[in-house]
Structure 1
Amino acid sequence: MWKILIIDDDFQVLEGMRKAIPWDAIDAEYAGEASDGAEGLMMIQQTQPDIVITDIYMPVMNGLEMIEKLRETNFPGELIILSGYTDFEYARQALRLQVSDYLSKPVTVEELRIVLTRVIKELEAKEFIKMEQEEVKKRLLLHEPFSQQEWLKSVITGTFASQSLPPADMAYWLDRSHLVIGIELLSTVRTANLSLIDWHLFRFALANIIREILTEDWPESDFIELHSHHAAIMFHIEPTLSSDEARQRITAVGERITHCVRTYLQLTLRLGMGQMKASWQQISDSTEEAFLDLLQMSNTLPPSKLSSTSTDLAIRPIKFYQELAEAIVYSKEETAAQIVEAYILQLQSMPTITPAYLQYLCTELWTIFAYSLYSVGTVLDELFPDMNLQLELNQILTPTHLQQWLGNKIHIIATSRHWHENSKHKEIVDFMTQYAHTHYAEEINLEDMSKQLYLSRNYLNQIFKKATGETFTNYVIQVRMKKAQALLAEGKYLIYEISEKVGYKNVPYFSSIFKKYAGVSPSEIAKSGL
């Protein structure tokens, strides 16, 4: 309801106004009254009315003086002057102070109703605009982390616009040096047969472990997931730290990450380190060096079989991988073909590129295709059931062979109806999974998701299940249960605390869900110390 405050030094006017205003009809309530401007200011501060009806001539402080003070404090409500004075100067001052209306005493009930109805409509319009602005702000804040991640990814892969600058909260980059560690998740029996939802959970678990370690060991750093089985960390280095000391400390951080990931997830990582760069615009150079370092660790391709010069960095495979992977998952066949053509032109300008290096690129790209398609619910082997990869790789001896091979594979993928249906929904599914892992402690439901993404509840559930094999509700439950298991393993929290931390206020309900998921109750795990 709208609150109305009345200020007048005439008791009869106050009494008459209380009776004359059609409170129920205009959805308003009486907020109080005052007999002069000074008292009115105090009442306004206490009651925060939406509408103030005030006389002009009053003792202590007149109405115009009071309104001036309210304007100085940006009072958001509407002001109506009701005065026995019809002098033009008073009306002119009232206009200057932007009052909603100027009524002369005596005022009829109908006049009062018409004015208040109009003013309340103006208030409703202002409130609606305010709500829209708050909603826009909320949406921007909601999407900000994802937008920032995309910007970081563009910096680390070298796809950012040349004229761009770091956001305000990253201004410290300008006086830091930078170094990149490349991360490769090695294929094992544990990762080979994962379901899509388990792969998502592993991916987030891996990211959480790395980010927690970085928060403790090197806060001024950024973890970025790249294509398929690759990720990277940007370390921002203070000017007071020498290059040798920085590399030693970063090496120690990398060793801790690989140890923790092996211990808690039973996953094996391989890390490569780039060189330190003085400018943030050179970060992508460090990325390429880091992944070249990883490449030289590979037993399948010794350094001697790479091109015989240091031009590998110039052709920037990581940038190429990233751009091509994005084109693949978002159903952009024409864009993918353009990216391949531009890269082949770069390769053709390098006379020292060897067949071994081209075949290595094919192997990497095939892995990237597999992971990228898997992320949208498509299995690459099902699209190429009779393919002999090694036999085809052996026939790739020149950049032109590579272009033809890629063009053929991309066309088959692009004309796959299953891939096209799933990939166009990837952004939506990615947003929903990221949201679940970020907001699992809060109330999350599909209805909220539908409002945020402007899509129907049923449609969202349908595409999420098609992409992940799970309903969104079940996915949120699994995320919460994984987190609950991790918190139980720490042994620092009581069960009711864990229940609250993963979004359940009802502890018995949390326990029943947990037992259904894990096979044992949280109290049994706590007692056994598992």
Structure 2
Amino acid sequence: MWTIAIVDDDRQALGGMSRLIPWEQLGARLALEAMDGEEGLRLIEASQPDIVITDIYMPVMNGLDMIEQLRKQQYTGKIIILSGYSDFDYARKALRLQVDDYLPKPASLATIREVLQRVIRELAERRALENRERELQNQLMEYEPYLEREWVKSVLIGGTSSPLTDPTRMLERLGWKNAQFMMLALEIKRQGRMEGISVRDWHLFRFAVGNTVEELAGQEGLRSYFLELHSHHMALLLYKPLSWPTEAFRSEVLSLAGRIISSVHRFLNVKLHIGAGLRKDNWLAISDSTEEAFQALAERREPDVALPCVYVYNEGGCRRSAPRNVRPVRFFQEMADAVRTFDEPRALLALDDFFRKDGSAAQLQPDELTAIGTQLFAILSFTLYESGIRLDDELPLTELTKELGQLEDAQQWNAWVAEKVNRICSRYTPNENLKHKETVDYIIQYIHEHYAENIHLQDVADQVYISKNYLSTLFRQFTGETFGDYLTRVRMEKAKSMVLEKKLLIAEIAERVGYRNVPYFTTLFKKHTGRSPTEFHKA
């Protein structure tokens, strides 16, 4: 319903206007009446009508002065002047004040209806545009965490960032201005407890490791950004202000690396290896630290005496398997993302970029290519395992190793990788099951990011445009358990790490993992761990 205000010092004109306006036909109602500009200004400020119809000559404050004050107050409604005077100076001032129409008194019913219909149509169009802009802004806000992750990922691995993301704004938001950085590359070892686990448990293990890593970084007073890369590889960017002493920062980072390894092993019985890149004092050099960290991790040379399983990159003593401007980490990530969806053209484009973007990869020696090929297919093996596919069934490790050893140059290596990618993508052609798998993967990621909120299957079903019942069936089909059971397991894993930290009350932990009913939380915790939170705390 549109609202209209009428301001005129002639009581008869007020009554006549009220009778002339076809309110019902216009979908409008009378918001207020006033008999001078000062009263009109006060009432309009209070009620903010959509349209103001006003005379010019009025006592106390005339119509033009009232309009001028409204414009100063950012009033955005439509204004129509209805006056018995046709003074040119008044008309010119009205034009300057962006009045929508200037009608002579008396105005006919047809003229009033025509003018009001036009301004209401303009108001409706403006409101529709504002609603679309608001919806777009809301959508951008929803996607902002995703855009941030993708931008950070591109910075960390040296990829191409989205044109939708403003680097200046991101630097401000992340606190990267005037900061120094070091990268830690983490690798989860698939041995012992990790051997033969299900895909759903593998997701849960990665989630638990990520939680532990981020919490430990916060305890050390370091700012951090944690990023999952390809399956068993993760990256942890650590940073502090440039004003912080360089050696102190480096010492804190390496100390944290040692604590991560011991804590993850103690709490999760999972073994990690960590590579550390060199300190950088510019965010544009972060990807160099990433490459150095993974290089140190791949070579595993000379671990720190005080920190076993932490390998620090040494520019003088570390044997690089590639020239400085070759980016295997970015290449590995792009190939993993492509093969995960069996997108052969995308994988071949990544392969082509790796060799032709700067020409450096084409100069690699056979032993360097063998090392990169071995790492690549280990990563692809882990990546496909997450989709329930054992790459060893199609490409046995012994066969790959033998063939890699027979390659003589970069051209042969390129053709060999392209042929293997073709075999993988041809055998495992994308189908409806893959789309469903991607949907379930999205839900798993959503659970891991929103477990503390009051989320329900219906909420997620609405996001992926699938019915609740069908989505429930898909989730159970791919994970072996219900949405609710998986959500509870994620919450309990998070709760376990909080209990072991011994920093929060049980009630606080319950609330932080999505439960306001503490007894119910305690019951679930005991069901999943065999002990109450208090007993678990004392263990």
TM-score (norm 1): 0.79
1:221 aligns with 2:224: yes
- CA shift, 1:248, in A, is 0.8
Q: Which residue of 1 aligns with 2:389?
A: 379
- CA shift, 1:130, in A, is 0.8
- CA shift, 1:197, in A, is 3.6
Distance of 2:224 and 2:269 partners within structure 1: 25
Distance of 2:111 and 2:492 partners within structure 1: 63
Greater alpha carbon shift after TM alignment, 468-477 vs 136-145: 468-477
Letter in 2 for 1:148: E
Give the 5 Å matches for 1:408-487: 408-419=419-430, 421=432, 432-442=443-453, 444=455, 461=471, 465=475, 479=490
Give the 5 Å matches for 1:353-364: 353-354=366-367, 360-364=371-375
Distance of 2:455 and 2:108 partners within structure 1: 52
Distance of 2:23 and 2:454 partners within structure 1: 38
Distance 1:427 1:151, change over 3 A: farther
- CA shift, 1:229, in A, is 0.9
Letter in 1 for 2:169: A
SS at match of 2:393: coil
Distance 1:438 1:521, change over 3 A: closer
Percent identity (aligned):
37
Distance of 2:520 and 2:162 partners within structure 1: 53
Query: Which of 246, 261, 264 is residue 261 of structure 1 equivalent to?
Result: 264
SS at match of 1:167: helix
Distance 1:432 1:104, change over 3 A: farther
Query: Which of 309, 330, 338 is residue 327 of structure 1 equivalent to?
Result: 338
Residue deviations 1:428-467 (CA, integer Å, cap 9, x gap) = 66655444444445565677667767x5658994997476
Letter in 2 for 1:408: E
Give the 5 Å matches for 1:379-418: 379-381=389-391, 384-385=392-393, 388-397=396-405, 398=407, 402-403=413-414, 405-418=416-429
Distance of 2:80 and 2:162 partners within structure 1: 55
SS at match of 2:203: helix
Alpha carbons 2:217, 2:224 under 8 Å: kept: yes
Distance 1:338 1:462, change over 3 A: farther
1:168 aligns with 2:179: no
Query: Which of 312, 315, 328 is residue 317 of structure 1 equivalent to?
Result: 328
Alpha carbons 2:184, 2:235 under 8 Å: kept: yes
Distance 1:51 1:481, change over 3 A: farther
The count of corresponding residues between Structure 1 and Structure 2 is 512
Letter in 1 for 2:193: R
1:125 aligns with 2:125: yes
- CA shift, 1:297, in A, is 2.6
Question: Which runs of no fewer than 5 residues in structure 1 stay unpaired?
Answer: none
- CA shift, 1:346, in A, is 5.0
Distance of 2:512 and 2:65 partners within structure 1: 53
Q: Which residue of 2 aligns with 1:240?
A: 243
SS at match of 1:58: coil
Q: Which residue of 2 aligns with 1:349?
A: 363
- CA shift, 1:273, in A, is 0.9
Alpha carbons 1:6, 1:53 under 8 Å: kept: yes
1:367 aligns with 2:378: yes
**RMSD across aligned positions (CA):** 4.3
Letter in 1 for 2:389: V
Distance of 1:491 and 1:426 partners within structure 2: 38
Q: Which residue of 2 aligns with 1:34?
A: 34
Distance of 1:268 and 1:162 partners within structure 2: 35
Greater alpha carbon shift after TM alignment, 308-317 vs 254-263: 308-317
Question: Which runs of no fewer than 5 residues in structure 2 stay unpaired?
Answer: 303-310
Alpha carbons 2:150, 2:161 under 8 Å: kept: no
Distance 1:2 1:189, change over 3 A: farther
- CA shift, 1:132, in A, is 0.8
Q: Which residue of 1 aligns with 2:285?
A: 282
SS at match of 1:126: helix
Alpha carbons 2:458, 2:468 under 8 Å: kept: no
Distance 1:80 1:325, change over 3 A: same
- CA shift, 1:184, in A, is 0.9
Distance of 2:319 and 2:196 partners within structure 1: 39
SS at match of 1:385: helix
Residue deviations 1:322-345 (CA, integer Å, cap 9, x gap) = 121122124331332344456578
Alpha carbons 2:222, 2:240 under 8 Å: kept: no
TM-score (norm 2): 0.78
Distance of 1:460 and 1:115 partners within structure 2: 53
Distance of 2:177 and 2:109 partners within structure 1: 67
- CA shift, 1:136, in A, is 1.0
SS at match of 1:233: strand
Alpha carbons 1:177, 1:278 under 8 Å: kept: yes
Query: Which of 178, 183, 186 is residue 180 of structure 1 equivalent to?
Result: 183
Distance 1:67 1:457, change over 3 A: farther
Distance of 2:23 and 2:505 partners within structure 1: 53
- CA shift, 1:2, in A, is 2.8
